[in-house]
Amino acid sequence: MARHHALPPLSEVYQRLREHFGHRNWWPGETPFEVMVGAILTQNTAWSNVEKAIRNLKANNALSIKGIREAREGELAEWIRPSGYFNQKARKLKALVAFIDETHGGSLARMRKVPLEELRAQLLRVNGIGPETADSILLYALDKPIFVVDAYTRRIFTRHFYLNGKPSYHAIQERFMRECPPDAEFYNDFHAQIVEAGKSYCRKRPLCAICPLEPLPHSAEQGA
């Protein structure tokens, strides 16, 4: 089914979300490194589970570059067990720290100085870091102006006819970054608004009353 009139620009979508949810300026995490760890632990996992894992890491003084460097992978896995996929994620945390050590001398300050595109390419080579995790780290831990695409983004904007078919991660990211100013603060809050809206979206229903976006008569998913 096609739309017969023009969609509001993405900036207006952002404004509507923001009026509904208020400013988020978001990512739960006290330090940039904690944000990086959270980005890995939350892969395909509810944040409530990640919180338990983060608490365990803190309780064992392991939520730091040094802490993860010195921990054995086995005990790391036990600490992060509540976040699921704990064996894989323990390996991923080790890989992240090894990358920071080997490529940036163990310094986030040095890492932050690397230009966006180069740093993104470096991150994508690290085991366990794919496009979304890389972009979450760049935007939320390092304040780089890059738009994070996630399952909520895909679902919501497909249902509201901004996306058709099954566009790639890159295609969706391009769409947002072409229409929006390259501003880290803006990308930060926009993505936060999308997550907030996504959480209140019922997965199986075309739309929810709470969704501040324009109500639609039917779902746009499944090639409609």
Partner DNA sequence: GACCAGGCACATC
Partner DNA sequence: GATGTGCATGGT
Q: Give the footprint of DNA on this chain (CB under 7 A).
A: 27-28, 38-39, 42-49, 52, 81-89, 126-134, 136, 140, 150-152, 166, 168, 195, 198-199, 203-204
Sign of the torsion formed by the C-alpha atoms of 178, 181, 182 and 187: negative
Query: Which is nearer to DNA, 46 or 59 (by Cβ)?
Result: 46
Q: What angle (nearest 5°) sits at the alpha carbon of residue 109, between those of residues 51 and 37?
A: 15
Distance of CA 144 to the CA centre of its chain: 13
> Shortest Cβ distance from residue 107 to DNA (Å)?
23
Half-sphere exposure (CA, 13 Å, Cβ side) for 179? 15
> Shortest Cβ distance from residue 210 to DNA (Å)?
15
> Shortest Cβ distance from residue 110 to DNA (Å)?
23
Query: Which is nearer to DNA, 4 or 204 (by Cβ)?
Result: 204
Query: Which is nearer to DNA, 66 or 199 (by Cβ)?
Result: 199
> Shortest Cβ distance from residue 217 to DNA (Å)?
22
Query: Which is nearer to DNA, 20 or 81 (by Cβ)?
Result: 81
Q: Distance between CA atoms of 69 and 89, rounded to whole angstroms? A: 14
Q: Is the separation of the CB atoms in 152 and 198 below 8 Å?
A: yes
Q: Is the separation of the CB atoms in 92 and 127 below 8 Å?
A: yes
Q: Which string of DSSP letters, residue by residue, matches 201-212?
A: S-SSSS--TT--
Q: Distance between CA atoms of 73 and 95, rounded to whole angstroms? A: 11
> Shortest Cβ distance from residue 174 to DNA (Å)?
14
Query: Which is nearer to DNA, 42 or 62 (by Cβ)?
Result: 42
